[in-house]
A = this chain, B = another copy of it.
Amino acid sequence: MARGSATGSTEGAALRRPIESVTRERLLQAAMDVFAQHGYHGTTVDDIVAASQTSKGAFYHYFPSKQGIFLNLLDRLIEMVEAGVEGAIEHEEGGLAKVEAALRVVLEVASAHQDLARILLIEAAALGPEFEQSRLGIHRRFAALIQRHLDRAVADGSIPAQDSRAAAMAWIGAINEVVTQDMAAGRDLMASLPAIRTLLLRSVGARVADETA
């Protein structure tokens, strides 16, 4: 059944990273689906195996454990989002514009891939204290990204000097919450964009035109 054999295949994947193995890819994809649908604890390895049309053996051939494939998935998602954000940001001029672009991209990505967003935002938090560190790490990673650009905005005078670390944290939290609630309520994420845009920008002291009545 067309099994990929070599690890060092020549064909490129959708996003840079070469496909190491079709089976491995199938497992990852299935895991993503199932985790998104049933949550970490609600998902069994057998579920993933079934959804991937592979086998238990294949699973443990490629991944050390259920936890292992999950962390793997997390990393992959983070990288994708970060790459998307960085890419969208570099075309913008000025700290504030970059920050705005990042905000828009994050919302767009979350909106387009709700299952991914669910994993990153919800399921990653559902791992229990042992893994809490990994979740906090993710948040901090994004916060650092935002903080960097906020600091730049401060430097170029777009916004007043302030505790950008706290601001970045608050932003992450706010975005997280809005996305989560909107998703749960079946609302269109992009519809919330103007509101949070205003909210967030104002929070750091940027001058914004009111868009809300």
Residue ranges of A at the interface with B (Cβ–Cβ < 8 Å): 37-42, 122, 125-130, 132-133, 136, 139-140, 160-163, 166-167, 169-178, 180-181, 184, 192, 195-196, 198-200, 202-205, 210, 212-213
Residue of A42, A170, A171 with most partner-chain B CB within 10 A: A170
Give chain A's interface secondary structure class: helix
Contacts of A171 in B (CB 8 A): 174
**Closest 5 pairs between A and B when the two form their complex, measured CB to CB:** A173-B177, A39-B128, A203-B203, A170-B174, A166-B195
Cβ of A151 to closest chain B Cβ, rounded Å: 13
- A195 to chain B: which residues have CB within 8 Å? 162-163, 166-167
Closest to A176 in B: B173
Contacts of A204 in B (CB 8 A): 199, 202
User: For A162, what are the chain B residues with a Cβ–Cβ distance below 8 Å?
Assistant: 195, 198, 210, 212
Query: Among the interface residues A139, A174, A205, which one has the most CB atoms of the partner chain B within 10 A?
Result: A174
Contact of A180 among B130, B136, B160, B205 (CB under 8 A): B136
CB-CB under 8 A from A176, the residues of chain B are 173, 176-177
Which chain B residues border A202 with CB–CB below 8 Å?
Answer: 202-205
Complex contact A125–B126 (CB within 8 A): yes
Determine whether the beta carbon of B184 is less than 8 Å from that of A136. yes
In the complex the two chains form, is A128's CB within 8 Å of B126's CB? yes
